[in-house]
Amino acid sequence: MTTRILTGITTTGTPHLGNYAGAIRPAIVASRQSDADSFYFLADYHALIKCDDPLRIQRSRLEIAATWLAAGLDVDRVTFYRQSDIPEIPELTWLLTCVAGKGLLNRAHAYKASVDKNVEAGEDPDAGITMGLFSYPVLMAADILMFNAHQVPVGRDQIQHVEMARDIGQRFNHLFGKGKEFFVMPEALIEESVATLPGLDGRKMSKSYDNTIPLFSSAKEMKDAISRIVTDSRLPGEAKDPDNSHLFTLYQAFATPEQSHEFRTDLLQGLGWGDAKQRLFQLLDSELGEARENYHRLIERPADLEDILQAGAQKARRIATPFLGELREAVGLRSFRETTQTVAAPKKKASKGARFVSFREEDGSFRFRLLAADGEQLLLSRSFADGKTAGAVTRQLQQGDDLDIRTEGDAFTVWLEGACVADSPTFADAAARDAAVERLKLALAPQQD
């Protein structure tokens, strides 16, 4: 069985080295496993919750798409798309919103943190909080449930959201599934082995600490950032302590065990920090230089990126469109074509979509036609004085049993209790007429549910 892996990347920033080692690289490695069916997407609807700067949103979508592709994501193997290109996702979000408990969402960490901050500042608890922020977990549940993901690789801060997706999905299954499980229950996947890179100052590398090393911007910028890595003040020739050096931790995240061993030995033997930084730069440049070139090639051809993402959206929608159709059906958003029949003849419906259409003549009398599913007129009724009688006749015909059909030349008539109630059209010959009799019988045959 294949495992469906899905994760989203919120498009508000430019990926840095920490994102690469912590999320992008492991995701690409996982996508190459033979039993993996991976879905990676740009969570640009989520980005709108955090950011109201259109240029930044647009720039970030472009940069993140180019980063993943440049880093080696194979779009033939995986499904790579933008959330906002899948209209089924906001639609599913609404269906889920209607079953998600408000109390559940009140407990979401991100929302609670904003409320706490407001309360602390003596403000209204909901000051500045949008419905987007409040409903963030429902949109994320739709992302995950839309594709029935088994595993959702995320950071620890997102575990609660995956649990909420389970909760909401289960509720929907229970309410509308009638024993069928529409949604698979997703699991958060926390990769313990994945590197959390330290930033320039030794704290976790993060944009909010302003301590990042850029990933693909340029060799010079990467070099400049590396030169700002904080080290201790030991001079060249003095032994360094690799285990207490985040420069060494960064090196290890990209080196082979042999390279790491050699670097460690050299540090212990007094390698100067300046030289150590040069070595780190060389390692990163050799690991990432080619991908950086790919990145710049992609960024310069946004129309090609657009094509790739459109193809990804098409691939995703081949799953999302029919699945959402089933879900709409389940909640009662159904085509009237099927519902009319159930309403008109709840027990015995006219077979294969045949239907009675009533109308009023100019003289005020009532008549009806029986039309086959393809629109062919099977019968035209005689005139009835009132609608009630016409309705009673259609109901009797729908009982379908023991039809009294009498042929007359190349046409036929239908009789009820000794009175002729309807006529067929005239056919080309007797064979055509008999075939039409069969179609009529089929159309009026009682149906088993």
Binding region for ligand TRP (CB under 6 A)? 6-8, 10, 43, 46, 140, 143-144, 152, 154, 158
CB of 205 to ligand TRP, least distance (A): 16
Complex with ligand TRP: residue 131 or 428, whichever CB lies closer: 131
Least gap, CB of 10 to ligand TRP (angstroms): 4
Q: To the nearest whole angstrom, how small is the minimum distance from the Cβ of residue 161 to ligand TRP?
A: 6
Q: Which is nearer to ligand TRP, 188 or 229 (by Cβ)?
A: 188
User: What angle do the packed helices 257-268 and 273-299 form, to 10 degrees?
Assistant: 150
Strand 377-381 versus strand 404-408 pairing type: unpaired
Structure-token match 């003289």, residue found: 363
Nearer to ligand TRP, 64 or 225 (CB): 64
Closest CB to ligand TRP among residues 43, 370: 43
Phi/psi-derived region of residue 16, left when phi > 0, alpha when psi is between -120 and 50, beta in every other case: beta
Q: Quote the least distance from Cβ 64 to ligand TRP, whole Å.
A: 11
CB nearer to ligand TRP: give 40 or 368: 40
Pick 136 or 273: Cβ nearer ligand TRP: 136
Q: Please state the φ and ψ torsions of residue 196, each to the nearest 5 degrees.
A: -100, 110
For ligand TRP, the closer CB: 68 or 248: 68
Residue number with the shortest CB distance to ligand TRP?
8
Task: Measure the CA–CA gap between 29 and 42, rounded to whole angstroms.
Answer: 18
**Residue of 286, 330, 313 whose CA lies nearest to 172:** 330
Nearer Cβ to ligand TRP, position 105 or 416? Answer: 105
Least distance between ligand TRP and beta carbon 226 (Å): 27
Please state, in angstroms and rounded to a whole number, the distance separating the CA atoms of residues 359 and 348: 22
Beta carbon of residue 87, minimum distance to ligand TRP (angstroms, whole number): 16
Nearest to 379 by CA among 411, 410, 417, 337: 411
Provide the minimum distance between the beta carbon of 144 and ligand TRP in the complex, in angstroms, as a whole number. Answer: 5
Sheet of 419-423, strand order: 355-360, 366-371, 377-381, 419-423, 411-416, 404-408
> Measured between alpha carbons, how far is 5 from 12 in angstroms, rounded to an integer?
23
CB of 323 to ligand TRP, least distance (A): 16
Q: Report, in Å, the least distance between residue 52 CB and ligand TRP.
A: 17
Six-digit token string for 384: 């009835």
Q: How far is the CB of 151 from ligand TRP (least distance, A)?
A: 10
46 versus 292: smaller Cβ distance to ligand TRP: 46
- The residue (of 90 and 387) whose beta carbon lies closer to ligand TRP is 90
